[in-house]
Every structure is written in structure tokens, then in C-alpha cells.
Chains A and B, each alone.
Chain A
Amino acid sequence: MTTPHLLHRADALLRGLPEPSPPGATAWRSRLAILAAFGALYGATMGSFGERPLQAAFSALKLPLMLGATFAISLPPFFVVNTLFGLRDDFRRVVGALAAAQAGLAVILASLAPLTAFGYHACGLGHRPAILLNGLMFALASLGAQVVLRRSYRGLIAARPAHRAMLRAWLGVYVFVGIQMGWVLRPFVGSPGLPTRFFREDSWTNAYVVVWEIVASVLSGS
């Protein structure tokens, strides 16, 4: 897929224009390509903190991996539950809508990459503010992706209101898995005091348990 074509497809995705005919395999390829290319672009920007090219390369790989892996392992229960609620006939459209939202998230993130780079290099942000800045960018991109998702889902919900509850369930499971996936695949920004690595040594721990331990230690005042 050539760069102009990719940009054209990304533009169509944001505007909610229909897929070129014939849809199907081509649409999937373009969404995957958008996710990989734009995700890698933001990942590389994210990892450019401290001007470490290796970290930027790792983050460029890890961001699309995080989004793709979260999507892949959240999908089987969603498929079964959709079937159970009699929505199986729409499942192709549902997955199309979810994949479009994922690709949309990557495009929006990529559009925010210059701001992140500006924050890193022009404002001289420290490590913690840099993490917060990225958190803000992800929050903004998630809100933008919601627009893509709701637009793609509008027709589905109008035809069958049960899709609304399914969408909420999907977001719940996706966020639950995504937070842990992000934790496992960290560092994305890279701490300046630590050597550059693909995974942290304590990567394979549980984000929720760690957060709870922090909350508990704050509450107990220790």
C-alpha cells in the first residue's frame, strides 16, 4: 500500500466515508496498515523522550502490538456473547466498526505526535510530566476514537438496540485488558535513569495489583 493511498484511506476513515468497492479483504488490509503505520509513528514519538533511538524503535513496534493484541484477546468473548444475544448476523459489521475505531485511534494519536514531540523537546518536560502528557494524548485520542466508533455503530444500534449494551461490554473488557497489556509492554517513554530495554525486568506483574498497593500505601500513610 503506497503512502498517498494510506493517507487517503485514513482520511476516509476519519470522515466516515464508505470503503471503496470491493470491500472485505481490502478494507481489512487498509485498517491494519493504518493501525501499524500511524501507531508506529506515535510510538516512535513517544519513545523519543531522552533522544534514545533504540527506545523510539521499540516503542514504534510496541504501540501497534499493544492495540492489536488487546483487540485480539478481547474479541473471542465478544463473539460468543454477541452470538448469544442474537447479534451474530451483524458480527462482520461489528468487527469492522471496532477495527475502524482502532485505526481511528492510531490516526488521531499520530496527529497528536507533533504536540508530544513539542512537549518533549521544546518544553523540556521531565520524565513524569512526559508520562502525564502521553496519558493526556491517549485520553484525547480515545475520545476521538469514540466518535468513529459511535458513528460506525449508529446504524447497528438503530436496527438492534442490544448493540448498545454490547458496545459498553466491549469497552469494559477492552479497557481492562488494554491497561494490563500497556503495563506488560512498558516502557513506552523510557526512564532516563534506566537502560533501554524492550521489556522492563518486572514487566510480567499485574497493573491492578500494583495500583492497589500504591493506593493502599497512600491510605495507610506509609
Chain B
Amino acid sequence: MGNEESELGEGGGWSRGFRELDRILRGEMTSLGGEPRIAAGRLTWVVVLLCMAYGACMGTFAVLAPDGPGPMQVLASMVKVPLLFYLTLVVTLPSLYVLNALVGSRLTFGSVFRLLSASLGVNVAVLASMGPIVAFFSACTTSYPFMVLLNVAVFATAGFLAMGFLLQALQRLSDEQWPANAADAEIVGEPTAATRPQAARRPEPRVRTIFRLWMVLFGLVGAQMGWVLRPFIGHPDLPFAWFRPRQSNFFEAVYHALVALFS
């Protein structure tokens, strides 16, 4: 552990943050045994930066529409994409932690937070990597519904990949913390909790169910949060506004975008 700390200590803050994200993407954080060793603070800055980069790509559509919201939309989207993720996390994290503790998981609040930070890192890395494609389509599309649906598809892809990562990380953690027998526990080097009498009752299926339910909740809250924080893309016929009136909901809006595109 000490070696890793000194290894992480090399280089500047940003490059260390990106290296951290790289290690998460490679699966190193969750495959080495024990709890995820993630410096969540350092990672958060990189996540915010990547969110802002994607926000800028999203806002490109508004800049190029002659009667649209203009460059202010880019700025607004750069602020709002990080907000979208962190506000959703603030709303949903407490319930996850409480339910998690209730079903007997050994994950502490810090571990849950680090695990979610890592998943968020995966989510925004995928999102930001698709930024150039979104910016390219923004530059050469006049159809607003197409851009809405493309962004929804990109967010959904990133979200599903992050979900897969989270479940896999959880599985590894659970395998390491609750090995099949005591001999395995000794190999893993965690004899204390794993050899306790209650270790016979592995809470892992319930924890996985809680996490699965939570991911659905995160998706729903995130989608609606995106709706509350809209506009991100900026309708080409409407002037710039930080927020739109709070009417309708995300799913209705996606349905209307589909109808508008295909009619």
C-alpha cells in the first residue's frame, strides 16, 4: 500500500487524477484485493473537467443556430453537466448507504463513495470520449430532436457501461471480502471478518440487489434531474435561459422528440 501511495505521489495533480482514472478504467482499482484504493478527491476534479468538456460539446449546437441561445449555452452546459451528476449523487447516495448497511454489507460509507466515484469516473470517461462525435453532429445538424435523441443515446451508453463496471467491481469486492472458505480468506489476507461466525451468511446477493435497484433509481433521478436542469442543448428558436419552466418530465420529452423526429 505504501508503495502505491508513493507511486501515486508522482507527477502533477491533474496528471495524477487522470492516471487514477486510467487505473480505474483498466480495472486495477478493484482487482487487486481489498477495498477500492481510490483517491476520490483527486478523481473528482478530473470527473468535473471531463463533464465540462462534454458540456461544451453539447452546447456546440446552440452556438451554430443563428437565432438560438448562442455561446452562453456552452457556458451553461459546462456548468450544468457536472451539476447533473453530483446533484443526482447527492439525492441518491444516502438511501443507497442506508439500505446497504441494513442488509448487512461490510462496505463503509467511504467505500461506497469511492466505489461510486470510480463508476462515475467510468461514466464520464465514456461520455467525454464521445464528445467529439456529439460536437461533430452538433455542427452539422439543424434538427433539434435528432440532437436530443443522440445525447440521450450517448448518456445511456455511458450509463450502461458504468453500471456494468459497478456490478463487476462489487462482485470482485464481495469475492474478496467474503471468500468461499477460510483457506481462501487466508490467501486473500483478510482473515478477521471473513472467519467470523456470521461469515457463513453472505449478504452479497442482497447487496447486489440493493445496488441494482439503486442504479435504476440513479437513472430515473438522473434523467429527471437532467430535465430540471435543462436546457443543455438549447432549442435553436428560443433565447438563452439558464432554466426552463418546470413542466412535463424527461420521459415525456424523449417521447415528444421521437415523435417530432419521425413525423
CB of B108 closer than 8 Å to a CB of A: no
Most buried by A among B126, B165, B263: B126
Residue on A nearest B161 in the bound complex, by CB: A84
Q: Is the CB of A208 within 8 A of B126?
A: no
Do B161 and A180 touch across chains, with their CB atoms under 8 A apart?
Answer: no
In the complex, the answer to whether B161 meets A83 with C-beta atoms within 8 Å is no
| A residues in contact with B137, CB < 8 Å | 180, 206
Known: A86-B26, A212-B262. A180 touches B130 (CB 8 A): no
B132 pairs with A73, CB closer than 8 A: yes
With A83-B22, A84-B161, A177-B136 known as contacts, the answer to whether A209 contacts B146 (CB < 8 A) is yes
Whole-angstrom distance between the Cβ of B120 and the nearest chain A Cβ: 14
A209–B261 Cα distance when bound, in Å, is 8
Instruction: Contact check, A209 vs B141: say whether CB atoms are below 8 A apart.
Output: yes
- Bound-state Cα–Cα, A14 to B195, Å: 60
With A81-B126, A81-B161 already in contact, the answer to whether A88 and B132 are too (CB < 8 A) is no
Residues of B within 8 A of A181 (CB): 136
Mask for B203-222, Cβ within 8 A of A = 1, else 0? Answer: 00000000000000000000
Q: Within 8 Å of chain A (Cβ to Cβ): is B110? A: no
B133: CB under 8 A from chain A?
A: yes
Bound form: Cα–Cα A173–B134 in Å: 12
Give bound CA distance, A208 to B137, whole Å: 11
Q: Complex: how many Å from CA A183 to CA B261?
A: 19
Looking at chain A's contact residues, the main secondary structure is helix
- Select one of A86, A183, A212 contacting B27, CB under 8 A: A86
Q: Are B26 and A88 in contact (CB under 8 A)?
A: yes
B181 within 8 A of A: no
A77 close to B133 (CB less than 8 A): yes
B124 shortest CB reach to chain A, Å = 10
Question: Number of A residues contacting the other chain (C-beta, 8 Å)?
Answer: 26
Residue pairs across A and B with CB atoms within 8 Å: the count is: 69
Question: Which residue on chain B has the smallest CB distance to residue A210?
Answer: B143
With a CB–CB cut-off of 8 A, which chain B residues contact A175?
Answer: none
A79 to B126, CA, bound (A): 9
Whether B15 is near chain A, meaning CB under 8 Å from some CB there, is no
Residue of chain B at shortest CB distance from A72: B132
Provided the pairs A83-B25, A84-B165, A206-B146 are in contact, do residues A77 and B139 lie with their beta carbons within 8 angstroms? no
Let me know if A73 and B161 touch, CB within 8 A: no
A28 at the interface (CB under 8 A from B): no
Query: 1/0 per position for A201-222, CB-CB distance to B under 8 A?
Result: 0011110110010001000000
Please name all residues of chain A whose beta carbon is closer than 8 Å to the beta carbon of B22 when the two chains form the complex: 83
Q: Does A184 belong to the interface (CB within 8 Å)?
A: yes
Q: With A and B bound together, what is the CA distance between A83 and B261 in angstroms?
A: 34
Chain A, 66-114, CB within 8 A of any chain B CB? 72-74, 76-77, 79-81, 83-84, 86, 88
Do A206 and B141 touch across chains, with their CB atoms under 8 A apart?
A: yes
Q: A204-B139, A206-B143 are in contact. Are A76 and B122 (CB under 8 A)?
A: no
Inter-chain contact B136/A80, CB cutoff 8 Å:
no
Within 8 Å by CB of A173, from B122, B133, B139, B140, lies B133
B130 touches A77 (CB 8 A): yes
**Restricting to A134-162, which residues have a CB under 8 Å from any CB of B?**
none
List residues of B whose CB falls within 8 A of some A CB.
22, 25-27, 64, 122, 125-126, 128-133, 136-137, 139-143, 146, 161, 165, 261-263
20 intermolecular pairs with C-beta atoms under 8 Å apart: A77-B126, A77-B129, A77-B130, A80-B25, A80-B126, A80-B129, A81-B129, A81-B161, A83-B26, A84-B25, A84-B125, A173-B133, A180-B136, A180-B137, A181-B136, A184-B140, A203-B140, A205-B142, A206-B140, A209-B142
Identify the A interface with B (CB < 8 A): 72-74, 76-77, 79-81, 83-84, 86, 88, 173, 177, 180-181, 183-184, 203-206, 208-209, 212, 216
Listed from nearest, the 8 A-B pairs whose CB atoms lie closest are A76-B129, A206-B141, A80-B129, A77-B129, A83-B25, A204-B140, A73-B132, A209-B143
Besides A86-B27, A206-B137, 13 more A-B contacts (Cβ < 8 Å) are A76-B130, A76-B131, A79-B129, A80-B129, A84-B27, A84-B165, A86-B26, A180-B136, A203-B140, A204-B64, A204-B142, A205-B140, A208-B146
